[in-house]
Chain A
Protein backbone atom coordinates (compact mmCIF):
# COMPACT_ATOMS: atom_id res chain seq x y z
CA UNK A 1 0.00 0.00 0.00
CA UNK A 2 2.77 2.42 1.04
CA UNK A 3 4.71 1.44 -2.05
CA UNK A 4 1.67 2.16 -4.20
CA UNK A 5 1.20 5.61 -2.65
CA UNK A 6 4.86 6.42 -3.17
CA UNK A 7 4.89 5.19 -6.76
CA UNK A 8 1.60 6.93 -7.57
CA UNK A 9 2.93 10.14 -6.10
CA UNK A 10 6.08 10.04 -8.19
CA UNK A 11 4.15 9.21 -11.36
CA UNK A 12 1.72 12.06 -10.66
CA UNK A 13 4.55 14.53 -10.15
CA UNK A 14 6.35 13.37 -13.28
CA UNK A 15 3.23 13.60 -15.45
CA UNK A 16 2.60 17.14 -14.23
CA UNK A 17 6.25 17.93 -14.66
CA UNK A 18 6.25 16.72 -18.25
CA UNK A 19 3.08 18.70 -18.97
CA UNK A 20 4.64 21.82 -17.48
CA UNK A 21 7.97 21.22 -19.12
CA UNK A 22 6.54 20.78 -22.58
CA UNK A 23 4.79 24.11 -22.49
CA UNK A 24 7.34 25.69 -20.17
CA UNK A 25 10.04 25.35 -22.75
CA UNK A 26 8.08 27.45 -25.15
CA UNK A 27 8.69 30.37 -22.90
CA UNK A 28 11.97 29.18 -21.59
CA UNK A 29 13.66 28.87 -24.92
CA UNK A 30 12.46 32.10 -26.29
CA UNK A 31 15.61 34.11 -26.22
CA UNK A 32 13.75 37.34 -26.49
CA UNK A 33 13.35 39.69 -23.68
CA UNK A 34 15.91 38.34 -21.32
CA UNK A 35 18.75 40.72 -20.78
CA UNK A 36 21.33 38.05 -21.28
CA UNK A 37 19.90 36.72 -24.47
CA UNK A 38 18.94 39.84 -26.23
CA UNK A 39 21.06 41.60 -28.71
CA UNK A 40 21.30 42.61 -32.28
CA UNK A 41 20.98 39.82 -34.73
CA UNK A 42 21.03 39.67 -38.45
CA UNK A 43 17.69 39.91 -40.12
CA UNK A 44 16.29 38.81 -43.39
CA UNK A 45 14.26 42.02 -43.73
CA UNK A 46 15.23 45.58 -44.51
CA UNK A 47 15.99 46.53 -40.90
CA UNK A 48 18.29 44.77 -38.49
CA UNK A 49 16.56 43.14 -35.52
CA UNK A 50 17.29 44.39 -32.04
CA UNK A 51 15.67 43.34 -28.79
CA UNK A 52 15.83 45.36 -25.64
CA UNK A 53 14.62 44.58 -22.14
CA UNK A 54 12.82 47.20 -20.09
CA UNK A 55 12.44 46.66 -16.37
CA UNK A 56 10.39 48.75 -14.00
CA UNK A 57 9.17 48.62 -10.46
CA UNK A 58 5.42 49.10 -9.89
CA UNK A 59 4.54 52.75 -10.49
CA UNK A 60 1.08 53.56 -11.85
CA UNK A 61 -1.46 51.25 -13.46
CA UNK A 62 -2.74 51.78 -16.99
CA UNK A 63 -1.41 53.72 -19.96
CA UNK A 64 -2.86 57.08 -19.00
CA UNK A 65 -4.32 56.07 -15.63
CA UNK A 66 -5.79 53.22 -13.59
CA UNK A 67 -9.37 53.76 -14.79
CA UNK A 68 -8.64 51.86 -18.01
CA UNK A 69 -9.79 48.29 -18.40
CA UNK A 70 -7.13 45.71 -17.44
CA UNK A 71 -4.86 48.50 -16.27
CA UNK A 72 -1.61 47.09 -14.95
CA UNK A 73 1.83 48.31 -14.00
CA UNK A 74 3.31 47.40 -17.39
CA UNK A 75 0.43 48.81 -19.51
CA UNK A 76 2.18 52.12 -20.20
CA UNK A 77 5.48 50.59 -21.28
CA UNK A 78 3.88 47.86 -23.39
CA UNK A 79 1.84 50.48 -25.20
CA UNK A 80 4.85 52.80 -25.59
CA UNK A 81 6.98 49.88 -26.81
CA UNK A 82 4.41 48.95 -29.41
CA UNK A 83 4.14 52.49 -30.76
CA UNK A 84 7.90 52.97 -30.62
CA UNK A 85 8.55 49.80 -32.62
CA UNK A 86 6.07 50.84 -35.31
CA UNK A 87 7.64 54.24 -35.92
CA UNK A 88 11.32 53.35 -35.30
CA UNK A 89 13.32 53.50 -38.49
CA UNK A 90 16.81 52.48 -37.33
CA UNK A 91 16.13 48.87 -36.30
CA UNK A 92 13.36 46.31 -36.26
CA UNK A 93 13.10 46.66 -32.50
CA UNK A 94 11.34 44.45 -30.00
CA UNK A 95 10.90 45.78 -26.48
CA UNK A 96 10.27 43.26 -23.71
CA UNK A 97 8.77 44.74 -20.57
CA UNK A 98 9.13 43.21 -17.15
CA UNK A 99 7.82 44.43 -13.79
CA UNK A 100 10.19 43.76 -10.90
CA UNK A 101 9.08 43.98 -7.27
CA UNK A 102 10.83 46.78 -5.39
CA UNK A 103 12.46 44.46 -2.89
CA UNK A 104 13.73 42.16 -5.66
CA UNK A 105 15.28 44.98 -7.70
CA UNK A 106 18.80 45.01 -6.30
CA UNK A 107 19.13 41.22 -6.11
CA UNK A 108 18.12 40.88 -9.74
CA UNK A 109 20.19 43.81 -10.94
CA UNK A 110 23.33 42.80 -9.08
CA UNK A 111 23.25 39.22 -10.29
CA UNK A 112 22.53 40.31 -13.85
CA UNK A 113 25.22 42.97 -13.76
CA UNK A 114 27.73 40.43 -12.47
CA UNK A 115 26.64 38.09 -15.21
CA UNK A 116 27.05 40.83 -17.81
CA UNK A 117 23.36 40.83 -18.63
CA UNK A 118 21.74 43.94 -17.18
CA UNK A 119 18.43 45.14 -18.62
CA UNK A 120 18.73 47.80 -21.30
CA UNK A 121 16.36 50.24 -19.61
CA UNK A 122 15.25 50.58 -15.99
CA UNK A 123 12.41 52.89 -14.98
CA UNK A 124 12.56 53.67 -11.28
CA UNK A 125 12.99 56.37 -8.65
CA UNK A 126 16.38 57.98 -9.07
CA UNK A 127 17.34 57.63 -5.41
CA UNK A 128 17.13 53.85 -5.67
CA UNK A 129 19.28 53.74 -8.79
CA UNK A 130 21.88 56.44 -8.17
CA UNK A 131 24.42 53.89 -6.99
CA UNK A 132 24.46 52.25 -10.39
CA UNK A 133 25.60 55.57 -11.88
CA UNK A 134 28.36 55.76 -9.28
CA UNK A 135 29.37 52.20 -10.13
CA UNK A 136 29.74 53.10 -13.80
CA UNK A 137 26.97 50.74 -14.84
CA UNK A 138 24.77 53.35 -16.54
CA UNK A 139 25.04 55.16 -19.84
CA UNK A 140 25.06 58.96 -19.74
CA UNK A 141 21.87 60.31 -21.29
CA UNK A 142 23.09 63.89 -21.70
CA UNK A 143 23.19 63.55 -25.48
CA UNK A 144 19.48 62.72 -25.72
CA UNK A 145 18.33 65.71 -23.68
CA UNK A 146 17.34 68.58 -25.96
CA UNK A 147 16.78 72.26 -25.28
CA UNK A 148 13.01 71.89 -25.33
CA UNK A 149 13.19 69.38 -22.47
CA UNK A 150 15.70 71.52 -20.59
CA UNK A 151 13.28 74.44 -20.78
CA UNK A 152 10.17 72.45 -19.86
CA UNK A 153 11.66 70.66 -16.84
CA UNK A 154 12.84 72.79 -13.90
CA UNK A 155 16.55 72.84 -13.08
CA UNK A 156 15.96 71.23 -9.66
CA UNK A 157 14.90 67.99 -11.34
CA UNK A 158 17.92 68.05 -13.66
CA UNK A 159 20.15 68.49 -10.61
CA UNK A 160 18.51 65.42 -9.11
CA UNK A 161 19.36 63.24 -12.10
CA UNK A 162 22.85 64.61 -12.78
CA UNK A 163 25.79 62.69 -11.38
CA UNK A 164 29.15 64.31 -12.01
CA UNK A 165 28.80 66.10 -15.33
CA UNK A 166 26.18 63.91 -16.94
CA UNK A 167 22.48 63.24 -16.83
CA UNK A 168 21.89 59.54 -16.06
CA UNK A 169 18.11 59.50 -15.67
CA UNK A 170 15.57 61.13 -17.94
CA UNK A 171 13.15 62.81 -15.49
CA UNK A 172 9.57 61.79 -16.15
CA UNK A 173 7.59 62.53 -12.99
CA UNK A 174 8.12 63.09 -9.32
CA UNK A 175 6.50 61.68 -6.24
CA UNK A 176 6.28 64.03 -3.29
CA UNK A 177 6.23 62.15 -0.01
CA UNK A 178 3.74 63.24 2.66
CA UNK A 179 1.42 61.72 5.21
CA UNK A 180 -2.13 60.62 4.46
CA UNK A 181 -4.84 60.64 7.07
CA UNK A 182 -8.35 59.30 7.47
CA UNK A 183 -10.50 62.38 8.05
CA UNK A 184 -13.49 60.18 8.99
CA UNK A 185 -11.45 58.73 11.80
CA UNK A 186 -10.41 62.23 12.91
CA UNK A 187 -14.08 63.19 13.08
CA UNK A 188 -14.89 60.10 15.11
CA UNK A 189 -12.07 61.06 17.48
CA UNK A 190 -13.37 64.61 17.86
CA UNK A 191 -10.41 66.05 15.97
CA UNK A 192 -12.39 68.10 13.41
CA UNK A 193 -10.28 71.17 14.10
CA UNK A 194 -7.17 69.30 12.92
CA UNK A 195 -8.60 68.38 9.52
CA UNK A 196 -7.26 70.31 6.55
CA UNK A 197 -9.00 71.16 3.30
CA UNK A 198 -9.78 68.52 0.69
CA UNK A 199 -6.99 69.68 -1.59
CA UNK A 200 -4.71 70.99 1.11
CA UNK A 201 -1.54 69.44 2.46
CA UNK A 202 -2.18 70.20 6.10
CA UNK A 203 0.67 71.28 8.35
CA UNK A 204 0.51 70.45 12.06
CA UNK A 205 2.93 71.43 14.78
CA UNK A 206 4.54 68.57 16.67
CA UNK A 207 2.35 69.36 19.71
CA UNK A 208 -0.76 69.19 17.56
CA UNK A 209 0.46 65.94 16.04
CA UNK A 210 0.87 64.41 19.48
CA UNK A 211 -2.63 65.60 20.40
CA UNK A 212 -3.91 63.89 17.28
CA UNK A 213 -2.17 60.64 18.18
CA UNK A 214 -3.64 60.82 21.68
CA UNK A 215 -7.09 61.60 20.30
CA UNK A 216 -6.99 58.73 17.82
CA UNK A 217 -5.79 56.33 20.47
CA UNK A 218 -8.72 57.20 22.73
CA UNK A 219 -11.25 57.32 19.92
CA UNK A 220 -14.56 55.54 20.73
CA UNK A 221 -14.24 51.99 19.43
CA UNK A 222 -17.78 51.64 18.08
CA UNK A 223 -16.87 52.84 14.58
CA UNK A 224 -13.20 51.94 14.16
CA UNK A 225 -12.74 49.07 16.54
CA UNK A 226 -9.46 47.84 15.16
CA UNK A 227 -7.54 51.02 14.40
CA UNK A 228 -4.24 52.46 15.57
CA UNK A 229 -3.29 56.14 15.29
CA UNK A 230 -0.16 56.01 13.13
CA UNK A 231 1.79 53.69 10.81
CA UNK A 232 5.24 52.61 11.92
CA UNK A 233 7.29 49.98 10.12
CA UNK A 234 10.83 48.69 9.89
CA UNK A 235 10.72 45.24 8.31
CA UNK A 236 12.87 46.17 5.32
CA UNK A 237 14.16 49.16 3.39
CA UNK A 238 10.89 49.85 1.59
CA UNK A 239 9.35 53.20 2.48
CA UNK A 240 12.38 54.11 4.57
CA UNK A 241 12.40 57.75 3.43
CA UNK A 242 9.57 58.48 5.88
CA UNK A 243 11.64 56.91 8.65
CA UNK A 244 14.51 59.18 7.60
CA UNK A 245 12.13 62.13 7.79
CA UNK A 246 11.05 61.16 11.32
CA UNK A 247 14.71 61.11 12.33
CA UNK A 248 14.99 64.74 11.16
CA UNK A 249 11.93 65.90 13.12
CA UNK A 250 13.95 67.50 15.88
CA UNK A 251 16.21 69.46 13.56
CA UNK A 252 19.03 67.03 12.82
CA UNK A 253 20.62 67.77 9.44
CA UNK A 254 21.49 64.09 8.85
CA UNK A 255 24.46 64.74 6.53
CA UNK A 256 27.28 67.22 6.97
CA UNK A 257 28.88 69.20 4.14
CA UNK A 258 31.29 66.31 3.46
CA UNK A 259 28.45 63.86 2.90
CA UNK A 260 28.91 61.98 6.17
CA UNK A 261 26.05 61.00 8.45
CA UNK A 262 25.80 63.18 11.56
CA UNK A 263 22.67 61.73 13.13
CA UNK A 264 24.41 60.94 16.39
CA UNK A 265 23.80 64.21 18.19
CA UNK A 266 21.23 65.47 20.68
CA UNK A 267 18.61 66.14 18.00
CA UNK A 268 19.06 62.79 16.29
CA UNK A 269 18.84 60.87 19.56
CA UNK A 270 15.77 62.89 20.56
CA UNK A 271 14.07 61.87 17.31
CA UNK A 272 14.85 58.19 17.93
CA UNK A 273 13.57 58.56 21.49
CA UNK A 274 10.37 60.09 20.15
CA UNK A 275 9.83 57.13 17.81
CA UNK A 276 10.36 54.72 20.66
CA UNK A 277 8.08 56.77 22.91
CA UNK A 278 5.13 56.79 20.53
CA UNK A 279 5.66 53.10 19.78
CA UNK A 280 5.69 52.12 23.44
CA UNK A 281 2.72 54.37 24.18
CA UNK A 282 0.59 52.48 21.66
CA UNK A 283 0.27 55.41 19.26
CA UNK A 284 1.34 53.19 16.36
CA UNK A 285 0.55 49.76 15.03
CA UNK A 286 2.19 47.06 17.13
CA UNK A 287 5.05 44.92 15.81
CA UNK A 288 6.65 47.72 13.80
CA UNK A 289 9.82 45.67 13.46
CA UNK A 290 7.96 43.05 11.42
CA UNK A 291 5.61 45.36 9.51
CA UNK A 292 6.55 46.50 6.00
CA UNK A 293 5.52 49.73 4.36
CA UNK A 294 3.26 47.67 2.08
CA UNK A 295 1.54 46.19 5.13
CA UNK A 296 1.13 49.65 6.63
CA UNK A 297 -0.30 51.00 3.40
CA UNK A 298 -2.81 48.14 3.19
CA UNK A 299 -3.73 48.62 6.86
CA UNK A 300 -4.37 52.30 6.22
CA UNK A 301 -6.53 51.51 3.20
CA UNK A 302 -8.49 49.07 5.35
CA UNK A 303 -9.00 51.79 7.98
CA UNK A 304 -6.79 50.16 10.55
CA UNK A 305 -4.55 53.21 10.76
CA UNK A 306 -5.48 56.85 11.17
CA UNK A 307 -2.29 58.30 9.66
CA UNK A 308 0.09 56.65 7.25
CA UNK A 309 2.82 57.50 4.77
CA UNK A 310 1.98 58.21 1.16
CA UNK A 311 3.25 59.71 -2.04
CA UNK A 312 1.44 61.04 -5.08
CA UNK A 313 1.14 57.64 -6.78
CA UNK A 314 0.07 55.79 -3.63
CA UNK A 315 -2.46 58.51 -2.89
CA UNK A 316 -3.95 58.28 -6.38
CA UNK A 317 -3.90 54.47 -6.26
CA UNK A 318 -5.71 54.52 -2.91
CA UNK A 319 -8.43 56.76 -4.32
CA UNK A 320 -8.68 54.57 -7.43
CA UNK A 321 -9.00 51.44 -5.23
CA UNK A 322 -11.83 53.09 -3.31
CA UNK A 323 -13.59 54.13 -6.50
CA UNK A 324 -13.25 50.60 -7.89
CA UNK A 325 -14.61 49.05 -4.70
CA UNK A 326 -11.33 47.29 -3.96
CA UNK A 327 -10.96 49.08 -0.62
CA UNK A 328 -13.38 50.68 1.84
CA UNK A 329 -14.29 54.26 1.00
CA UNK A 330 -13.25 57.00 3.39
CA UNK A 331 -12.26 60.65 3.36
CA UNK A 332 -8.53 60.51 2.65
CA UNK A 333 -6.49 63.71 2.95
CA UNK A 334 -2.87 64.80 2.97
CA UNK A 335 -0.62 66.29 5.64
CA UNK A 336 3.04 67.10 6.08
CA UNK A 337 5.43 65.35 8.41
CA UNK A 338 5.62 67.70 11.42
CA UNK A 339 8.78 68.91 13.08
CA UNK A 340 9.68 70.39 16.43
CA UNK A 341 10.80 73.61 14.74
CA UNK A 342 7.40 74.14 13.12
CA UNK A 343 8.45 73.92 9.49
CA UNK A 344 7.13 70.69 8.05
CA UNK A 345 9.26 68.08 6.35
CA UNK A 346 8.70 66.88 2.83
CA UNK A 347 10.70 65.28 0.05
CA UNK A 348 10.21 64.00 -3.45
CA UNK A 349 11.32 61.07 -5.55
CA UNK A 350 12.20 61.97 -9.10
CA UNK A 351 11.21 59.03 -11.29
CA UNK A 352 12.74 58.36 -14.69
CA UNK A 353 14.44 55.94 -17.00
CA UNK A 354 18.09 54.98 -17.08
CA UNK A 355 20.01 52.93 -19.62
CA UNK A 356 22.48 50.24 -18.62
CA UNK A 357 25.78 49.62 -20.36
CA UNK A 358 25.26 46.31 -22.08
CA UNK A 359 28.30 46.36 -24.33
CA UNK A 360 26.10 46.11 -27.42
CA UNK A 361 26.16 49.42 -29.29
CA UNK A 362 22.95 48.73 -31.20
CA UNK A 363 20.99 47.80 -28.12
CA UNK A 364 22.36 50.80 -26.26
CA UNK A 365 21.34 53.07 -29.13
CA UNK A 366 17.84 51.58 -29.28
CA UNK A 367 17.50 51.80 -25.49
CA UNK A 368 18.37 55.49 -25.46
CA UNK A 369 16.07 56.17 -28.39
CA UNK A 370 13.22 54.41 -26.56
CA UNK A 371 13.85 56.47 -23.42
CA UNK A 372 13.84 59.68 -25.44
CA UNK A 373 10.68 58.56 -27.23
CA UNK A 374 8.43 58.00 -24.23
CA UNK A 375 10.01 60.76 -22.13
CA UNK A 376 9.36 63.45 -24.75
CA UNK A 377 6.31 62.32 -26.70
CA UNK A 378 3.50 64.76 -25.95
CA UNK A 379 0.97 61.99 -25.42
CA UNK A 380 3.11 59.72 -23.28
CA UNK A 381 4.37 62.43 -20.93
CA UNK A 382 0.72 63.02 -19.96
CA UNK A 383 0.90 59.81 -17.93
CA UNK A 384 3.16 61.64 -15.49
CA UNK A 385 -0.06 63.09 -14.06
CA UNK A 386 -0.40 59.84 -12.09
CA UNK A 387 2.21 61.26 -9.75
CA UNK A 388 3.30 64.86 -10.35
CA UNK A 389 4.63 65.89 -13.76
CA UNK A 390 8.15 67.26 -13.91
CA UNK A 391 7.20 69.06 -17.11
CA UNK A 392 5.66 72.48 -16.61
CA UNK A 393 3.65 72.00 -19.80
CA UNK A 394 1.93 68.87 -18.45
CA UNK A 395 1.40 70.35 -14.98
CA UNK A 396 -0.19 73.39 -16.59
CA UNK A 397 -2.43 71.24 -18.75
CA UNK A 398 -3.79 69.25 -15.79
CA UNK A 399 -3.71 71.84 -13.01
CA UNK A 400 -7.47 72.39 -12.93
CA UNK A 401 -8.14 68.66 -12.94
CA UNK A 402 -5.51 67.94 -10.29
CA UNK A 403 -5.57 70.73 -7.69
CA UNK A 404 -2.94 68.90 -5.65
CA UNK A 405 -0.30 69.89 -8.20
CA UNK A 406 -0.46 73.45 -6.82
CA UNK A 407 -0.37 72.18 -3.22
CA UNK A 408 2.72 70.09 -3.94
CA UNK A 409 4.28 73.06 -5.62
CA UNK A 410 3.68 75.26 -2.57
CA UNK A 411 5.09 72.54 -0.35
CA UNK A 412 8.37 72.42 -2.26
CA UNK A 413 9.82 75.04 0.07
CA UNK A 414 9.99 72.45 2.86
CA UNK A 415 11.74 69.82 0.80
CA UNK A 416 14.90 68.15 2.04
CA UNK A 417 17.35 66.11 -0.05
CA UNK A 418 17.08 62.78 1.70
CA UNK A 419 19.91 61.00 -0.10
CA UNK A 420 22.45 63.74 0.50
CA UNK A 421 23.68 62.66 -2.96
CA UNK A 422 26.08 60.33 -1.20
CA UNK A 423 27.49 57.30 -3.00
CA UNK A 424 26.40 53.90 -1.65
CA UNK A 425 22.87 55.09 -0.88
CA UNK A 426 21.31 51.72 -1.80
CA UNK A 427 23.54 49.90 0.65
CA UNK A 428 23.02 52.62 3.21
CA UNK A 429 19.33 51.75 3.15
CA UNK A 430 20.22 48.25 4.27
CA UNK A 431 21.78 49.65 7.43
CA UNK A 432 18.84 51.68 8.74
CA UNK A 433 16.03 49.17 9.21
CA UNK A 434 17.99 46.69 11.38
CA UNK A 435 18.76 49.55 13.77
CA UNK A 436 15.10 50.56 13.83
CA UNK A 437 14.13 46.95 14.52
CA UNK A 438 16.61 46.84 17.40
CA UNK A 439 15.14 50.09 18.69
CA UNK A 440 11.53 48.88 18.58
CA UNK A 441 12.14 45.51 20.19
CA UNK A 442 14.21 47.17 22.91
CA UNK A 443 17.46 45.47 21.97
CA UNK A 444 19.15 48.88 21.71
CA UNK A 445 18.51 52.21 23.36
CA UNK A 446 17.68 55.10 21.03
CA UNK A 447 21.17 56.53 21.61
CA UNK A 448 22.85 53.21 20.78
CA UNK A 449 20.73 52.64 17.67
CA UNK A 450 21.57 56.10 16.35
CA UNK A 451 25.26 55.70 17.17
CA UNK A 452 25.47 52.30 15.46
CA UNK A 453 23.57 53.52 12.41
CA UNK A 454 25.94 56.44 12.01
CA UNK A 455 29.04 54.26 12.37
CA UNK A 456 27.83 51.61 9.93
CA UNK A 457 26.38 54.14 7.52
CA UNK A 458 29.56 56.19 7.32
CA UNK A 459 31.52 53.01 6.68
CA UNK A 460 29.23 52.22 3.73
CA UNK A 461 29.57 55.75 2.33
CA UNK A 462 33.36 55.79 2.67
CA UNK A 463 33.68 52.45 0.90
CA UNK A 464 31.30 53.50 -1.89
CA UNK A 465 33.14 56.79 -2.32
CA UNK A 466 36.39 54.94 -2.82
CA UNK A 467 34.83 52.76 -5.49
CA UNK A 468 32.78 55.43 -7.23
CA UNK A 469 33.56 55.96 -10.88
CA UNK A 470 32.33 59.55 -10.57
CA UNK A 471 35.10 61.36 -8.74
Chain B
Protein backbone atom coordinates (compact mmCIF):
# COMPACT_ATOMS: atom_id res chain seq x y z
CA UNK B 1 0.00 0.00 0.00
CA UNK B 2 1.43 3.35 -0.99
CA UNK B 3 1.26 6.44 1.20
CA UNK B 4 0.05 9.74 -0.23
CA UNK B 5 2.33 12.79 -0.04
CA UNK B 6 0.04 14.17 2.64
CA UNK B 7 0.35 10.99 4.69
CA UNK B 8 4.13 11.00 4.30
CA UNK B 9 4.36 14.62 5.47
CA UNK B 10 2.14 13.89 8.46
CA UNK B 11 4.09 10.76 9.36
CA UNK B 12 7.43 12.50 8.98
CA UNK B 13 6.21 15.42 11.10
CA UNK B 14 5.34 12.95 13.85
CA UNK B 15 8.81 11.42 13.74
CA UNK B 16 10.54 14.82 13.74
CA UNK B 17 8.32 16.05 16.55
CA UNK B 18 9.15 13.01 18.68
CA UNK B 19 12.85 13.56 18.04
CA UNK B 20 13.00 17.32 18.55
CA UNK B 21 10.02 18.23 20.70
CA UNK B 22 8.83 20.71 18.05
CA UNK B 23 5.09 20.76 17.35
CA UNK B 24 4.09 18.74 14.28
CA UNK B 25 2.60 21.89 12.66
CA UNK B 26 6.08 23.43 12.49
CA UNK B 27 7.35 20.55 10.34
CA UNK B 28 6.28 21.87 6.93
CA UNK B 29 7.57 21.17 3.41
CA UNK B 30 9.89 24.19 3.11
CA UNK B 31 11.67 23.73 6.45
CA UNK B 32 15.39 22.93 6.39
CA UNK B 33 16.31 20.07 8.71
CA UNK B 34 19.52 21.74 9.86
CA UNK B 35 18.75 25.46 9.67
CA UNK B 36 15.09 25.57 10.69
CA UNK B 37 14.61 22.43 12.76
CA UNK B 38 18.10 22.33 14.34
CA UNK B 39 18.57 18.65 13.58
CA UNK B 40 22.14 17.35 13.82
CA UNK B 41 23.55 14.44 11.80
CA UNK B 42 22.85 11.85 14.51
CA UNK B 43 19.24 13.01 14.86
CA UNK B 44 18.90 12.98 11.07
CA UNK B 45 20.03 9.36 10.97
CA UNK B 46 17.50 8.55 13.70
CA UNK B 47 14.76 10.18 11.64
CA UNK B 48 15.89 8.28 8.55
CA UNK B 49 15.88 4.96 10.43
CA UNK B 50 12.38 5.56 11.79
CA UNK B 51 11.09 6.81 8.42
CA UNK B 52 12.42 3.72 6.62
CA UNK B 53 10.42 1.54 8.97
CA UNK B 54 7.29 3.67 8.93
CA UNK B 55 7.05 3.96 5.14
CA UNK B 56 8.69 0.64 4.26
CA UNK B 57 11.30 2.27 2.05
CA UNK B 58 15.07 2.30 1.86
CA UNK B 59 16.86 5.65 2.14
CA UNK B 60 20.51 5.01 1.21
CA UNK B 61 23.18 6.88 3.21
CA UNK B 62 24.33 8.62 0.01
CA UNK B 63 20.86 10.02 -0.46
CA UNK B 64 20.53 11.51 3.03
CA UNK B 65 22.84 14.46 2.26
CA UNK B 66 20.46 15.49 -0.54
CA UNK B 67 17.51 15.72 1.83
CA UNK B 68 17.92 19.36 2.85
CA UNK B 69 14.28 20.14 3.49
CA UNK B 70 11.27 18.27 4.77
CA UNK B 71 9.88 18.53 1.23
CA UNK B 72 12.99 16.81 -0.17
CA UNK B 73 12.42 13.92 2.21
CA UNK B 74 8.72 13.68 1.39
CA UNK B 75 9.50 13.59 -2.35
CA UNK B 76 12.21 10.98 -1.96
CA UNK B 77 10.06 8.71 0.21
CA UNK B 78 7.14 9.13 -2.20
CA UNK B 79 9.23 8.15 -5.22
CA UNK B 80 10.95 5.32 -3.36
CA UNK B 81 7.64 3.59 -2.61
CA UNK B 82 7.36 0.56 -4.77
- Do A and B bind? no
Spell out A's residues near B (CB within 8 Å): none
Spell out B's residues near A (CB within 8 Å): none
